[in-house]
Structure 1
Amino acid sequence: MESVFDPEGNKNLIARIEKLTPITLSQWGKMTVSQMMEHCQQPIKVARGTLLLKPTLMSFLFGKMIKKKLMDPKPFARDLPTVKQFKIENEPDFENTKKELIELVSIFATEGHDAIKNTKHPFFGNMTMKEWDVLQWKHLDHHLKQFGV
C-alpha cells in the first residue's frame, strides 16, 4: 500500500484528484464529485485537529474492533456507513473544494508525521502514525475509485 506521507505516493493521490472534473460521475453511491472532495477533507481535518468530534458510546463499544478491520489490506467496502459530520448536504464549489483537498493532502508529504496533530481518533481511540497513514490512504483511495480515478 502506498503512503500519504511518502512524496511519491502523495503525488500519485494528487494526480488522481487533478483528473476530476465538474462532470465526473460516481460509479456507486449518491455523492457528487464536489461533495466527495469536501467529504474527503473531513477525516484529514480530524487528523489535523481542526475538526473536533466527540466520542460516542458506539466508539467506546466498537471503535477498536472496527479500527482493526479497517487496517486490513483489503480496500474499503462500498457500503460502509458515513459519520453524520462527514455527510455533505450542500453542493460545494468544485474548483475551491478541489484546491482545498489538494492542499490538505499535500500537507502529509510536506510535514510528514507532524501533519497529524490529533493522535487520538474520536472513534478509534489512540492511533499510531502507520494507522493514520493507512486510514487516510484507504479513505482517499476508496473515494477516488468511486469516481473512476
Structure 2
Amino acid sequence: MKNIFDLKETNALIERINKLDAYAKPLWGKMSVDQMFAHCNVTYEMIYDSKHPKPNAFKKFMLKVVVKPYVVSEKPYKKNSRTAPEFVVADSKNFVEEKARLIDFLIKTQNLGASYFDNKPSHSFGSLTAKEWNNLFYKHLDHHLRQFGV
C-alpha cells in the first residue's frame, strides 16, 4: 500500500485528482465526480470537523468488529461496494469547491504526518495505528480515483 504520509504519494494523488474535470464519468457506480469528491471528503470531515455525529456504543462496537478489518486492511475495495449511510451523497455538489476541499484535506493530512495519526482515535473504529490510518485514507481515495479512470 502506498504511503499517503509521503509527500511524493500525496502529490501523485493530487495529480490524479487534477486530471478530473466536472464532466468525468465513472467506470462503475452511480456517483458523479462532484459527489465522489464530497463522498471522499466525509472521511476527513470525521477527523477534522464535528459535523458528523459519532455512532452510539452499539454501532461503534459493530463497526469496530465487522467493518474495521475491511477498511484498514491492504485488500482493495471491490467495485460497487456498499457505502455507509454517513458517506452517501445523493445531491449535486460544487465540483470546484469539493475538489479544493479534498486537496486541502490531503495536504493537511500529509503535513500532520504519520506520527500525528499513530494511535489517534477514529470516529468509528477506536484508536488506529498510523499504518491503519494510511490504509484507510489511501485505499478509499485510490478506489474512487480508479472509479473515474485516473
Common topology (TM > 0.5): yes
- 1:10 counterpart residue number: 10
Aligned length: 149
> Is residue 2:131 matched to residue 1:135?
no
Q: Counterpart of 1:63 in structure 2: which amino acid? A: K
**Aligned twin of 1:87:** 88
**CA displacement, residues 85-112 of structure 1 (integer Å, 9 cap, x when unaligned):** 2211221111111111111111122221
Query: Structure 2 CA distance, aligned partners of 1:116 and 1:28?
Result: 32
Question: How big is the shift at 1:79?
Answer: 3.1
Gaps of 5+ in 1: none
What's the TM-score once normalised by structure 2's chain length? Answer: 0.87
Is 1:45 the counterpart of 2:69? The answer is no
> What amino acid maps onto 1:61 in structure 2?
M
**1:138 CA displacement:** 0.3
Distance 1:29 1:10 in 2: 25
Aligned to 1:28: 28
Q: Measured at CA, do residues 32 and 117 of structure 1 come closer, stay the same or move farther in structure 2, by a change above 3 Å?
A: farther
Normalised to the residue count of structure 1, the TM-score between the two structures is: 0.87
Gaps of 5+ in 2: none
104 and 42 in structure 1: CA distance in 2 versus 1, 3 angstrom threshold: same
RMSD of Structure 2 on Structure 1 (CA):
2.2
Paired position in structure 2 for 1:70: 71
Tell me what 2:61 maps to. 60
Quick one: distance in 2 between partners of 1:52 and 1:118? Answer: 21
The answer to which of 70-79 and 50-59 deviates more is: 50-59
Q: Which residue of 2 aligns with 1:125?
A: 126
**Percentage identity across aligned positions?**
34
Q: 1:114 to 1:72 in 2, by over 3 A?
A: closer
* 1:55 counterpart letter in structure 2: P
